[in-house]
Structure 1
Amino acid sequence: MGRSIEKLIDQLWDSYQKINPQADQIHKLLSDRGETIVNDHIAFRTFQDPRIGIDQLAIPFLEAGYQPADEYHFETKKLFARHFQHSDPALPKVFISELLLNEFSGELGDIIQRMLEQLPEMESLSEPLCTAGRLWEVPFAHYETLSEQSEYAAWMAAHGFCANHFTIFVNALKTIDSLQDLNSLLVQEGFALNQEGGAIKGSPEVYLEQSSTIASVVDVRFADGVHAVPGCYYEFARRYPLPNGSLFEGFVAKSADKIFESTDKKLQN
């Protein structure tokens, strides 16, 4: 089973690289320094719908031995999330969020429902939902309407089911002592960081520091042509020990709230 989950993670990484060309560049930058990259977590986005919600996206991970851990609420962004962990510490955590569709109405709700009406029978999928990509067609005007109310919904409309981001586990780096040092190196090399809420979200006091690049802009084929939109970003996490000495394994909702904005169009300007 371990080999199959590693194969799934490799498949997710291959797809992710295509909508985040920064990933390879940052990997090379760190590998050239002699680093071995350890992945802290992989994140996914979806809609709250029984066919494609968190429980469905989590299936291949649960089958591979992952266990549900903590849950998180994002009231402003109308999101609910849960993370999953494996007993093998070499396997990354999995963070899955979903947009609460019952909190949207009007035009945005109608657009999302039109997308969901295009979903195939889930049993017909030949591979896990988390690798299925976009399962609907949507005109660019609908993408733009969604982005005005929910950048998260717009990102889902454009990309569908894939890894939204991978995350470098900063603690495992040998030549870089802190997240501040890693951020400085990335900026020096020309990578733009998400500054919403500060370049570093969190602190040692909450046992987790996070930062991220701004999502790469990629060409996406919509129903009426190709348009450039935010794709995926790369995240960086440094974890701190709890009072009992064990490393904090969860997430901090206040920090994650700002990390979500790494795919916002406003950061591309």
Structure 2
Amino acid sequence: MGTLDLPHASSFKGGSETFLRDVLESILKTYLRKNPMAKTVWELVQSMDNEKISYDHFFFRTFKVDGYGIESLSSFFMDYGYKIGGRLEFPKNKVQLVWLSPPDIHVSGDGHGLGNGPLPRLVIAELLVDELSLESQEIIRKYLKPEGGKQAILSSTLGSLIWEKPTSAEFNQLVKESEYAAWALIHGYTLNHLAVAVHRRKHRFSDINYVQEYFQENGFKLNKVGGDILNESEDGLLLQVTLASEKVAIEFADGVTEPITASFIEFVQRLVLPQFKDVPIDEIKEFHRREGLEQANANRIMQSTLSQHKNETN
């Protein structure tokens, strides 16, 4: 696997917290515009008890080629105080990722949403293009010209591809080897998914089991990649439920329109760490809870846009 050598940042170097929040808000709005089902769920959760969503993390997919990889996005966020929290590798999928913890920003007890609430963690994955077949490499490199990754943040906020759209034949050829590659080539830097922080909610949707039951009872399709709807970390302190990805109509460069798997929405509950079990519930902060990602959970989540698993839902 490749190695990740990224700079570290401990504080804002320039700009303002307001600008950072505006960028994240634009990324969110683009995601909601492009994913009708996720928007429906997002609006539903927001309307529950008139409580705005707090985000656990935003997840992006990138290519490790010609400056389009993890650093194309992480460099911007690290300039605004994000720090590397950890790394995971997935040799079978030829993917590696880092997750970034948000800057130390004071948030009042009633802070909410992206406007004045806690900032989300960021998870940025990259596909190790050099480990793909020559045929797949040629397709990807045909579109990803050197230096284009410098526009990653602009691409993510606007929801526009930096490169030209591929043909349907090229897309379907990539699908045969790497669903990740095909998805990223047609969707670019659009959020792959966002995760709602269940543990930060005060009313309904404040428990992951309720989340699962509610969506099942109301006819939503929940992801069952790996066989389980509720994904639980080995230590039992990180719980995740994922709604199945929808499909949206995409027109390719050759004029062919096909339904393509889009983004999805996830719910995450981080339980209190054992050493803090005696801390009063109204005094619990994020640092009292389980941090980071789980290898097995993350691997299952990364399978959530696999079109062949679309029918493995409940």
The TM-score with structure 2 as length reference comes to: 0.79
Of 301, 305, 308 in structure 2, the residue corresponding to residue 259 of structure 1 is: 301
Write out aligned runs for 1:94-243 (5 A): 94-117=122-145, 121-122=148-149, 125=151, 128-131=154-157, 133-134=160-161, 135-173=163-201, 174-197=203-226, 198-203=228-233, 205-225=235-255, 226-243=257-274
Moved more, 128-137 or 156-165: 128-137
Moved more, 100-109 or 145-154: 100-109
Identity %: 27
Moved more, 101-110 or 42-51: 101-110
Deviation, structure 1 residue 206: 4.3
- Counterpart CA distance in 2 for 1:233 and 1:2 is 27
RMSD: 2.0
- Counterpart CA distance in 2 for 1:133 and 1:48 is 19
120 and 204 in structure 1: CA distance in 2 versus 1, 3 angstrom threshold: closer
- Counterpart CA distance in 2 for 1:24 and 1:126 is 23
- Counterpart CA distance in 1 for 2:269 and 2:31 is 22
Please say if residues 76 and 153 of structure 2, whose CA atoms lie closer than 8 Å, have aligned partners that are also in contact. no
Please say if residues 46 and 98 of structure 1, whose CA atoms lie closer than 8 Å, have aligned partners that are also in contact. yes
- Counterpart CA distance in 2 for 1:268 and 1:207 is 28
Deviation, structure 1 residue 143: 0.9
Deviation string 1:76-120 (CA, Å, 9 cap, x unpaired) is 111100011122371000000000112112322221222224x66
- Counterpart CA distance in 1 for 2:195 and 2:309 is 20
Q: Does 1:11 align with 2:26?
A: yes
- Counterpart CA distance in 2 for 1:184 and 1:265 is 24
Please say if residues 66 and 144 of structure 2, whose CA atoms lie closer than 8 Å, have aligned partners that are also in contact. no
User: For residue 222 of structure 1, what is the amino acid of its counterpart?
Assistant: F
Q: Does 1:78 align with 2:94?
A: yes
Please say if residues 270 and 290 of structure 2, whose CA atoms lie closer than 8 Å, have aligned partners that are also in contact. yes
Deviation string 1:220-267 (CA, Å, 9 cap, x unpaired) is 221112221011000111112233332122001111111111111113
- Counterpart CA distance in 1 for 2:294 and 2:84 is 16
- Counterpart CA distance in 1 for 2:60 and 2:310 is 21
Of 32, 44, 47 in structure 2, the residue corresponding to residue 29 of structure 1 is: 44
Structure with greater strand percent: 1
SS in structure 1 opposite 2:27? helix
Which residue of structure 1 aligns with residue 57 of structure 2? 41
Deviation string 1:42-67 (CA, Å, 9 cap, x unpaired) is 01000112411111111221121111
Please say if residues 204 and 240 of structure 1, whose CA atoms lie closer than 8 Å, have aligned partners that are also in contact. no
Moved more, 172-181 or 100-109: 172-181
Give the unaligned 5+ runs of structure 2.
1-15, 108-117, 277-287
The TM-score with structure 1 as length reference comes to: 0.92
212 and 32 in structure 1: CA distance in 2 versus 1, 3 angstrom threshold: same
Moved over 4 A (4+): 119-123
SS in structure 1 opposite 2:221? coil
222 and 204 in structure 1: CA distance in 2 versus 1, 3 angstrom threshold: same
Give the unaligned 5+ runs of structure 1.
none
Deviation, structure 1 residue 130: 3.5
